[in-house]
Amino acid sequence: MAAGAAAQETPVPEGPIQEVIVTAQKTAQPASKTPLALSVLGGDELRQAGATNAVALAELAPNVQITTDTGMLQVAIRGVVSLDTTEKGDSSTAFNVDGAYVGRSEAQLGSFLDLERVEVLRGPQGTLYGRNATAGAINLITNKPTGKLEGRVDVEIGDYNARHVEGVINIPVNATLSLRAAAAKISRDTYLKRGPNTIGLDDRDDNAARLHALFTFAPATSWLLTAERSRNGGNGASSVPLANFFSGTPILGGNNLANPVYVDRGATAQATAAARFADAGSYRNNTATSLRSEFKTGLGGVADLTYQFARLHAQVEQLNNGTYFGFPMYNPISGESTQRTHEVRLGAPAGAALNWVAGVYHFTEDIFRASTYNTVTPGPLISLPFSPTIASRSKAAFGQLTWRAGDRLRLTVGARTTRDEKSGHDPLSGSLAGPGYSAHVESAKSNFRLAADYDLAPAVMVYGSVSTGYKAGGFNDTSGSPYKPENITSIEAGIKGRFLRNRLRLSAAAFHYDYKDMQLTSVVCTGASATDGCGVLTTNASNAGIKGVELEGSWHPTPDDRINFSVATADGKFKAYRPNATDDWSGQRIDRAPAYNATLGYVHTFAFDGGATLQARIGTRLNGAYFLSDPSAGVRYRQPSYRKSDIGATWTAPSQAYHVQAYVRNLENAITLDSLVPGGFGIGAPRTYGLRAGMQF
């Protein structure tokens, strides 16, 4: 949309729905006038949902699945996902904090802290976000310093010994400088039942802190400096056995089950670590430290200039424990990564009739990581060591232009050219005897976006677009064998609007993907035993087609009532695809793509004499069945459809200075499959309950 369009927009009278300004297209514009599939979650909404990291977004946005795998984040949007969370892999979703790209999946798990909003962009973002954004983008927008002295403190306690404390303070130092500091500490016990184990199982002991310093030199000139650090601690990742959920015949030394059939054994049995783990301990101490700089200024009314720099240093110190290959096995991981990003953008000034943005981008990342997979008795004594060094480089030039072709029609064209290269060396590659590998891959791609949007009414817009996205290629950790980039062409059409005198907000989209050279990842063992010659193998396994529809909205029938809802479908299927020499998955559903998901929530506010309020909430999410697969073994595990419901009540004092909230999440106590590892699953959270309280000034 042109920057001047919002100012010319006819106000919509009455009703409680307020417009939200987003920066999804790297320029400020109303969410209802942004011509792409977009969910916006405000800071208050995130706190009400207890969102302390990105995993919670899976319950709040349609066609989004977010899970963890051995302590690393995995994001699937409309069935597009990367399962390679090793040092050689990259996410398919561009994850950004205040515009700074966060490449490592372990660093993406930093606690949500003092957020203004989260923007979830669905669909390939090949122009403004570029590389490795075939699924979409997640933008975390933090609260920035203001000219007002203010602060808040929130405290939460819950079952599983859950504890959460967060504090924020904003200090205007003088007319030029304002500071904003935030800190949080989050902990809980494991959700898993011990079974025969004596070691600590997967839990949480996290903390995070951020300091913003905003210098405002003139109305159009500012400099934001940010220092941020997060720590994910506690015990290392643990899995539960395959047999907790499925019957079947163990194959490949217990790595998989042949012909698995889901059996509902109940939540207690599903969450029990039924096998003995290695008595080697368990810990996690992963840290991410970032320094960010954003300078903005106006160039005499001709253009606005933005320069962003970010440096992220991530360290991994983790000991996972479980039965990963049918044997007790522990997996120590250590290492560090350093990434630096530079982005310079020029954009149209506010109020310009022609809206445009253009820029250049440069990214570097250097990684060293050492890991070993060690079995213990009973069973063979095997050690699989890895010691890779990885260097990634990416540079791009991009631009997007929106032209007002009349009072109602806007036409958008965008393009980006990207060049990526990645080098790696590992003298071990899973064997003390070598020979290891050395590898280097390069790829280049030009992507485009063509879009049009039209105002049917002052508060109703329709749009259509054709866009492409690309994810860089790479190489594998045992042989250095390369795999090609993956590419998506997306056709999308949608409508956004506010109706019933601004009491109903609706957003709907239909999409179709042509998905080429899909990168699929699994653990492959090529040696004589179940754990010999094992590594994470990524191949360009298949082309696929994905299509679906999405609808989300909010209805305020009265000033005291609000109904939130969404429904989405995703029909994603492989085209011609044989994952191995004996199996044929052609025409079958791709992984992590439920046929449907839907949410429904109701909020009622009771007002009392004196000004106090009580807000009661109830909500539920329905999720269709989905697959977790091991292509190399030809095995597919089907998670049946499920429902998870939440309830809560929040009392707020007349002055708005205090509030108390009680909640229960996942009333059904549904235990769902998050990730697949050899011989086991990572699982989602069970039923939880707790109490929150907060004050602000």
Residue 4 in this model has a pLDDT that exceeds 50: no
Residue 10 in this model has a pLDDT that exceeds 50: no
Residue 165 in this model has a pLDDT that exceeds 90: yes
Which range (9-13, 133-137, 309-313, 493-497) has the least confidence?
9-13
Which amino acid is present at 158?
A: G
Residue 26 in this model has a pLDDT that exceeds 50: yes
pLDDT band at 59 (very low <50, low <70, confident <90, very high): confident
pLDDT value for 6: 39
pLDDT > 70: what percent of the chain?
96
What's the chain's Rg over C-alpha atoms? 25
Averaged over 280-293, what is the pLDDT? 94
pLDDT value for 525: 67
How far, in Å, CA of 450 to CA of 491, rounded?
A: 10
b/e map 49-62, b = 16+ CB within 10 Å = bbbbbbbbbbbbbb
Q: Which domains does the chain have, with CATH numbers?
A: 5-696 (2.40.170.20)
Residue 291 in this model has a pLDDT that exceeds 70: yes
How far, in Å, CA of 313 to CA of 387, rounded?
A: 19
Which range (100-114, 190-204, 387-401) has the least confidence?
100-114
Residue 9 in this model has a pLDDT that exceeds 50: no
115-124 tens-digit pLDDT:
999 999 999 9
pLDDT value for 12: 55
Structure tokens at 119: 């923007």
| Between residues 534 and 59, the one the model is more confident about | 59
Whether residue 229 contacts residue 257, with contact meaning beta carbons closer than 8 Å, is answered with no
How far, in Å, CA of 446 to CA of 451, rounded?
A: 17
pTM (two decimals): 0.92
Q: What is the DSSP letter of 28?
A: -
pLDDT band at 1 (very low <50, low <70, confident <90, very high): very low
301-336 tens-digit pLDDT:
899 999 999 999 999 999 988 876 667 888 899 999
267-286 tens-digit pLDDT:
999 999 987 888 888 999 99
How far, in Å, CA of 285 to CA of 320, rounded?
A: 11
